Amino acid sequence: MPEPTFDELIAGMTGESSQRLAAFGGLLRGVGAEVVAEFNDFSKTLAALPGVGQSAASRIAALRADDSLPLDHRRRLEHETRDGVELVLRKTPAAAHQAIPRIRSMLEDGLLPNAARTDAGIRSLRRQEVQAAMAVQSSGTPLERARRLVGQNAAWDAELLSDYGRAIVGNDHPVLRAEAVGRWKVRTDGTEKQLASRKALAGLEKANLEGAVTAHLQAARAHLTRDDRLPPGRQP
Amino acid sequence: MKIRRSIADLIQRETPGSPGGGQSSGPPEPTNFEEAMGYLTRTREQLAHSNSELDKARREAAGYRVGAKGQLAGASRKISALLGEPVADDQEPPDIDSLIAKLDPSKHAAAIKAKDGEIRSLKLRAKLSESFHDLGLKPGITRAALIDAGHMERLQADVDKPDFDEIVSTTLEELAENMPEVRGSGTAPVRTSAPMNHSQNPTLQISHEELAGMQPEEVAAALRSGRLNSILGRS
């Protein structure tokens, strides 16, 4: 069996994750422009990563081969290039990793009911309903009472997950939100946006975006260290 | 004389209040000529009265028949007019059964469906026009992109959904995100000069010092926009 070429090795590193990314991108229909924009930035960043190592490696190779410049100057330039690339390869994946929870959070926002477009009068009535439903419960903290309500009624959930709910449960609001996300993930109803977001959230788990970041970073490093792995006699 | 006698018996039997009315025994038989003549006279009077009442009833029934026919004709004319086939006053109105057959909803299903499709199409068109303006999108190219991506059929099917407005805005915003060419009309500011190309402008390239102080997100954005080309040794 012939040994794989360098390009085949790189394709092997990033190919599968790129396919998963493309499949996940296909699920981002109807989830909102913010998610699509965030994912597009994420994909473009990852796609640019291997090229970072490749272009830096080419420049270093060109510097080594350029005998018209003094050796010290070439070494300084190579050192600068390596430093710059190392910074880029450290910070860019960090940015990509930071984008993943943002994408997840945006999809969760799309999954949960939203009262932003509801008439103020109707919202007032719904809040009274929520208050009455919480008052009926004989025991428990506000958070416990709210958690029991979550998932029963989309309109109530919309209020509980808004600033109104934040005023009721205080700093425990993220816990209430997580409870609501868990319940809405397993439901089958909702608006088009909720359905699309639910599907995309399921796809997000399969897409393994963290793995894709690592794969593209490794591809960039492989490009950067390609010539370093050559025997000393073959180095330029 | 025998027949007249039979009629007299019959009237007397069927007339309430008359002597022997409704009784099987009948009136007492006349015993002499005067009584018979008197009886015959009364019978004639009763028969004339009955004939008069019958005539009145017949005239009344005829009046009802004429009135009903007129009302039916009027109704037929009105239904014909509603069906788009008006009938002149001097013309015979069409048969009511044929009009009812024309009103049968099953016979209008195709036309109703066509109108329904037209209404949905108009509603979608109005919403899209409004959204194009709000989002500053080019109507022509955006509409073409929606058709090309298969969004138009989906949106038309979603017209009746309560979250239709959200579906339209989400679809258009996503389209604009994936296809920036659709942006550029409406209330958005119009560029009158040539766009700047940051990636080819060496003055906007980031230095090593700047790179060291940048946040990861800024580095990623700079990488995407080509402002790290100098550091990465790209010409």
Per-residue pLDDT tens for A64-108?
888 898 889 999 988 888 899 999 999 999 999 999 999 999 999
**Helices A6-27, A192-207: inter-axial angle, 10-degree rounding:** 160
Chain B residue closest in CA terms to A61 = B233
**Helices A142-149, A173-185: inter-axial angle, 10-degree rounding:** 20
Q: How far apart are CA A142 and CA A129, in angstroms?
A: 15
Residue B5: pLDDT above 70? no
Contact at 8 Å (CB) between A46 and A96?
A: yes
Q: What is the pLDDT of residues A199-220, one digit of tens each?
A: 999 999 889 999 999 999 999 9
Which of the two residues, A11 and A46, has the higher pLDDT score?
A46
Tokens found for residue B211: 């790179």
Contact list in A for residue B145 (CB cut-off 8 A) is: none
Q: What is the pLDDT of residues B67-100, one digit of tens each?
A: 998 999 999 999 988 888 888 888 888 888 888 8
A116 contacts chain B (CB < 8 A): no
What residues of chain A, 135 to 194, have a C-beta less than 8 Å from chain B? 191-193
Residue B65: pLDDT above 90? yes
Residue B130: pLDDT above 70? yes
Residue B24: pLDDT above 70? no
Give the predicted TM-score (pTM) of the model.
0.67
Contact list in A for residue B208 (CB cut-off 8 A) is: 80, 83-84, 87
User: Which of A15-29, A114-128, B23-37, B165-179 shows the lowest mean pLDDT across its residues?
Assistant: B23-37
Q: What mean pLDDT is predicted for residues B184-198?
A: 53
Contact list in B for residue A88 (CB cut-off 8 A) is: 211, 219, 223, 228, 231-232
Q: What is the pLDDT of residue B179?
A: 87
Q: Phi and psi (nearest 5°) for B206?
A: -90, 140
3-state secondary structure of B183: strand
**Element holding B136 (H helix, E strand):** none
Q: What is the pLDDT of residue A42?
A: 95
Confidence of residue B45 (pLDDT cuts 50, 70, 90): very high
Residue B189: pLDDT above 80? no
Q: Do B173 and A33 touch (CB under 8 A)?
A: yes
Q: Do B177 and A40 touch (CB under 8 A)?
A: yes
| HSE of B204, CA atoms in CB hemisphere, 13 A | 11
Contact list in A for residue B161 (CB cut-off 8 A) is: 191-192
* Optimal mutation site among A35, A36, A82, A89, interface B, most CBs of chain B within 10 A: A36
Q: What mean pLDDT is predicted for residues B170-196?
A: 72
Contact at 8 Å (CB) between B182 and B176?
A: yes
Q: What mean pLDDT is predicted for residues A123-148?
A: 91
E-state strands within chain B: none
| HSE of A227, CA atoms in CB hemisphere, 13 A | 18
Chain B residue closest in CA terms to A191 = B163
Q: Do A193 and B170 touch (CB under 8 A)?
A: yes
Which of A36, A88, A117 lies closest to B177 in CB terms? A36
Q: Do A98 and B223 touch (CB under 8 A)?
A: no
Q: Do A33 and B174 touch (CB under 8 A)?
A: yes
Residues whose CB falls within 8 Å of the CB of residue B204, separated by 6 or more in sequence, listed in order: B198, B227
**Element holding A91 (H helix, E strand):** helix A71-111
Q: Do B224 and A41 touch (CB under 8 A)?
A: yes
Q: How far apart are CA B44 and CA B37, in angstroms?
A: 10
Q: Which amino acid is at B175?
A: L
Q: Do B208 and A44 touch (CB under 8 A)?
A: no
Q: What is the pLDDT of residue B84?
A: 86
| HSE of B109, CA atoms in CB hemisphere, 13 A | 2
Round to the nearest angstrom and report the end-to-end CA distance of chain B.
139
Q: How far apart are CA A39 and CA B89, in angstroms?
A: 73
Q: Do A94 and B162 touch (CB under 8 A)?
A: no
Give strand pairing partners of B183. B137
3-state secondary structure of B135: helix
Q: What is the pLDDT of residue A236?
A: 43
Q: What is the pLDDT of residues A155-201, one digit of tens each?
A: 999 999 999 999 999 899 999 999 999 999 999 998 889 999 999 99
Q: How far is CA A235 from the centre of its chain?
A: 39
Please report, rounded to a whole number, the percentage of residues in chain B having pLDDT higher than 70. Answer: 80
Tokens found for residue B199: 């990636």
User: Which of A37-46, A180-189, B24-33, B211-220 shows the lowest mean pLDDT across its residues?
Assistant: B24-33
Q: What mean pLDDT is predicted for residues A121-130?
A: 93
Tokens found for residue A17: 């994750």
Q: What is the pLDDT of residue B205?
A: 87
